[in-house]
Structure 1
Amino acid sequence: MTIKTTLTELQHKAKTWRNDITFTQDVLGKPFSFATTWGIFSPEKLDDGSLMLLDYIDFKDDDTSIDLGCGYGVLGMTAARECPNGQHFLIDKDFVAVEYARLNCEKNGLKNTHVQLSNGFNQVDNTQKFSLVMSNLPAKASKEQHYLYLLDAYERMEMGGRFYVVTINGLRDFMKRSFTEVFGNSDKIKQGKTYTVTLAVKE
């Protein structure tokens, strides 16, 4: 016999679901504390794609970076910690993600971060230049949106700047083609069972 959950039981569970989800997880061998909520991507633990990407980024002390589609902040937060002499921008078009990314930067004492609501680069100071661009590109975004990210990043990057992305393997050929079209180069850094890390450099 199937026992149905009653409305009262669901309402009781909902009180818990409305609370922040909190956890601590190591990133590049050092712990970060996170607060998240339901409705944000991978709310209960860091996603494997982002962790794989971070393993292959060549961080430099003075990088100024931007995390495109930051979610609750792990890429930009890691850049801020690994590149203490640079400034680090975390942007997302989801206001809830931005709220939690800002909270997580504060929780972890990161003073060299700037978190803001922006659809791609639309709301980012157009005089700001970046030596490092990072993104866990969503598979569900349209190819037009992906191209806009790449074209806008190219305009905002310093010469020699690096753009690292992680995608599901099904997008690896698209990333190779689109990076080559926009940047003139594309380097597959790592391909795993599910994800691929790809790099383009502004030359």
Structure 2
Amino acid sequence: MEQYFTTHPQVEHQQRTFTFQLRTHNLQFTTDNGVFSKQIIDYGTRVLIAALNWNGLPAGKLLDLGCGYGPIGLTMAKELPQRLIEMVDINQRALTLAQANAQTNHISNVEIKPSNIYQQLNDQIYAGIYTNPPIRAGKVVVTNMITQAVEHLKPNGQLWLVVQKKQGEPTYKKIMQQTFNNVQIITRNKGYYVLKSVKTND
């Protein structure tokens, strides 16, 4: 079965459009076959978005890592119009949808581009990295999303991640602690945990 973390999904197109409130914003999304959570904004993403705050965040751009069709990055762009939000994914179909969804919602402070985790980002540095990681892509992928984040964060930059307890939350929390020497549970909701680590020294 073809997965949503495929670079070029071959599954037949079946687009659908819906409106969804994220924080205080009613956003319109078009989705398609071959992308993650095509029917509705998945619960983990909603828990992460609701939990976000910008306390202690240094100046600079933010990264939505594995953006899919765009709910996290586009919500952040609405909340923080003065910041640039970069949105990356390996899935070209998802990126095309994210571009269209940015235009539909009149969001211009985003840069949407392909990247396999951080591979195409070179030495880009961010104030914050935010992800609902592709658990089905496997532990190695998710672990790399965490451990390599340090190289792409400013001092005091933040990594935010949402994961279900049954899909490895204790393991990934431990990896975040080992990588950053700190990890905080921001919220828990129906088995989903929002975790945050801060890059405390350069």
Structure 1 Cα separation of the partners of residues 24 and 79 of structure 2:
12
Q: Aligned-pair distance for 1:141?
A: 2.6
Q: 2:153 aligns with which of 157, 160, 176?
A: 157
Contact 1:129–1:156 (Cα < 8 Å) also in 2: yes
> Is 1:187 matched up with 2:184?
yes
The answer on 1:167 being equivalent to 2:163 is yes
* Paired residues of 2:87 and 2:111 also in contact (CA < 8 A): yes
Look up the match of 2:51. Answer: 56
For the pair shown, the structure with the greater C-alpha radius of gyration is: 1
Please tell me whether residue 94 in structure 1 is matched to residue 91 in structure 2: yes
Contact 1:63 1:85 (8 Å CA) reproduced: no
Bigger shift: residues 56-65 or 173-182: 56-65
1:36 aligns with 2:34: no
Work out which of the residue numbers 64, 76, 86 in structure 2 matches 1:67.
Answer: 64
Deviation at 1:194, TM superposition (A): 2.7
1:26 aligns to 2:21 (yes or no): yes
Residue 87 of structure 2 aligns to a residue whose secondary structure is strand
User: Are 1:59 and 1:83, in contact at CA under 8 Å, matched by a contact in 2?
Assistant: no
Tell me the equivalent position of 2:119: 122
Does the 8 Å CA contact 1:59/1:82 hold for their aligned counterparts?
no
Shift of 1:140: 1.6
Deviates more, 1:153-162 or 1:134-143: 134-143
Matching residue within 101, 104, 107 for 1:107:
104
Structure 1: gaps of 5 or more residues: 1-16
RMSD of aligned Cα (Å): 1.7
Contact 2:99 2:112 in 1 (8 A): yes
Whole-Å Cα distance in 2 between the matches of residues 19 and 38 of structure 1?
6
Q: Bigger CA drift: 64-73 or 38-47?
A: 38-47
The residue type equivalent to 2:131 in the other structure is S
Larger RCO (CA under 8 A, 6+ residues apart): 2
TM-score between both structures, scaled by the size of structure 2 = 0.86
Structure 2 stretches lacking a partner, 5+ long: 1-11
TM-score, structure 1 length as denominator?
Answer: 0.86
Corresponding residue pairs, total: 186
> C-alpha separation between the residues in 2 aligned to 1:63 and 1:86?
7
Deviation readout 1:57-94 (Å, 9 max, x if unpaired): 11369552111111100111011111111111111111
